[in-house]
Structure 1
């Protein structure tokens, strides 16, 4: 276990919220020193490696990311290095849960597994800003048959239990813009009030049905919510523009009909970000992963779904069969008190090895 915790601490201590280069350097050098894999670093900064590439069997890749969100002041030392420490069976620090702990577990499993198939490892950049690294890798030909993504799946069926996520929601962020004609507020009929048109669009959005989907026994329910509204320039001017921000949590399959707001005069709709959902399309793969989890937990562990997007969505969208399995628990990522269980890290490492060898 000390090798796993030591490697996690090493990776976590390296700042990677503005520039992932040093963290990528550490991962690349570890792979070159500890394995005989074919290791590459692409122009985006993604680190990838393959073992047993010539094997005539479907390929499997362990997938993570080494960028993090900006740390809290309490998570950095004077020199800029991230603070990481052990306490009460947990490692604390920015990136312990999301997701350098899982990256460390995957590195060790990648080295130790004895697969009869091509086995890959990838740690991407830019996951926290929309999957930039994953998209770059996919466009460059990264296409394993199967991927096990190490984002958090612990504590969904029960506290402290490592589960297997067979699906997750996506996120589509969009802006509804209402255009009008300005006029003096003392003569409102002389203009077209953009705020009123925006309110009409909000009424349409409020009444939209958000789709749901069933994936291997897990039900995902989408949602649509107006989260911001901005319009007007002065108290005595009829506004000629108003913008409405919409947050939509998407599920595999249908999307809410947000384009219907454009039936209102002067209203347009534009998508700002679209992070795809993920749905595992191979029940045997899910069963194998759950069996590996239960072998490490005296029968505990379930199929679950996650409420937020990961790089598994980009991979699944490109045709890769994905699962999510990792040590982070709900509510740990992106917090000032971020931490990860050392015991669950060890379980993840062993599960990854079992999946690679099945």
Structure 2
């Protein structure tokens, strides 16, 4: 693979990096190319930690903005290489990573190369392992080894937001809810206890659950509590002695991780519950001066981010952060993933206008 050409348009750069597969755990080649490309730029100081690359300006500006994007994707499913398509008269790029989130990464690479004299100092972050467990995330690792690199007055995550500004994010909790029984031959089921049957009340509670809509700093976040996986049984003629229901709770950023955990424990009171993944949300942070300036510059009406994103990592460090990137988040991980070319160009234009203005 030849070196990345950062003089390409952001659309062509999206094509290029999408056609370099980088499923979580296999980001090394793309990380190498990004590292080599930005290391050649004299106005940037570059640091690498595993497959996470950080590039910073040091212009002595009174304020610093961090702009980040992950370079990994979910697994490819016959949706590479990318291709152009037209839908209702609008041109798109179709293929894995176009939405989540290599179009955003391409915009960031393009601007990192060309904004040599921005109005604020900039910290660009391209990181690995976003699509898997939180403890593997490149920003988690970087926060342990180089927390100083997160210093900023405001942060922007290039996560897909349809070219709008999405403030904060919901928190994310995954838990295993277990039932136990007694194993027996299915021809003599009465001598056993069926753990799968015992899980019926878990599913009933989920079916009856009514999620909240929670206003936080002027934005309304929608919560959720859903079964996402059920596992039980070992053979077609054996009464199962164990059933595990995996549940996913998306909770408003006004709720702490401890409160979210307690809520799940309360919903499944009487059952064996184990929390296996927990990431707090992030409040919108839109009252920060740089956030207000950014919203005014791009002319955007802020919306809530229903999913979890790494804005939460910056928020936990006291850095207000928003999501701003091309692509429809409902198409993230979809086999028909596609991004409008106009959104890639619009997001580049919005960031360039704000960062380059005096």
In 2 relative to 1, CA 74–163 (structure 1 residues): closer, same or farther, beyond 3 Å?
closer
2-side partners of 1:181 and 1:329: how far apart? Answer: 47
Contact 1:61 1:119 in 2 (8 A): yes
Out of 264, 281, 296, the position equivalent to 1:291 is: 296
1:240 aligns with 2:241: yes
Q: Post-superposition shift, 1:86?
A: 7.1
**Could you tell me the TM-score, scaled by structure 2's length?**
0.81
> Among residues 149, 157, 162, which one is paired with 1:149 in the alignment?
157
Deviations 1:78-125 (A, max 9, x none): xxxx34557664333322222222112112323316334331100111
Q: Return closer, same or farther for 1:186/1:5 CA change in 2, 3 Å cut-off.
A: closer
Partners of 1:218 and 1:305 within 8 A in 2 = yes
Does the aligned pair in 2 maintain the 1:31–1:37 contact within 8 Å?
yes
> Residue 130 of structure 2 is aligned with which of 121, 127, 131?
127
Provide Cα deviations, 1:191-215, integer angstroms capped at 9, x if missing partner.
6553454333444455556444323
Aligned to 1:312: 311
2:322 — aligned with what?
Answer: 323
Offset from partner CA, 1:191-243 (integer Å, 9 cap, x none): 65534543334444555564443233210121112233333456776543221
CA contact (8 A) 2:60 2:121 kept: yes
**Is 1:34 aligned with 2:38?**
no
Q: Say which SS state the counterpart of residue 34 (structure 1) adopts.
A: coil
> For residues 261 and 341 of structure 1, do their structure 2 counterparts lie closer, same or farther at Cα, with a shift above 3 Å needed?
closer
Q: Give deviations 1:147-190, integer Å, cap 9, x for gaps.
A: 10111111xxxxxxx31101332332211012234467788776
Q: Which residue of 1 aligns with 2:3?
A: none
In 1, the alpha carbon distance for the partners of 2:99 and 2:49 equals 25
Report the RMSD for the aligned CA atoms in angstroms. Answer: 3.0
Counterpart in the other structure of 1:51:
57
Q: Is the 8 A contact 1:164 1:286 kept in 2?
A: no
In 2, Cα distance between equivalents of 1:235 and 1:100: 44
Residue 275 of structure 2 corresponds to 271
Contact 1:224 1:248 in 2 (8 A): yes
Q: What is the distance in 1 between the residues matched to 2:297 and 2:207? A: 43
Q: Note if 1:281 corresponds to 2:285.
A: yes
Cα separation, 2, equivalents of 1:336 and 1:236: 36
Partner of 1:23 in structure 2?
30
Q: Following TM superposition, by how much is the alpha carbon of 1:342 offset from its aligned partner in structure 2, in angstroms?
A: 2.5
Report how many aligned residue pairs link the two structures.
Answer: 335
Counterpart residue number, 1:226: 227
**Is the Cα–Cα contact under 8 Å of residues 8 and 104 in structure 1 kept in the other structure?**
yes
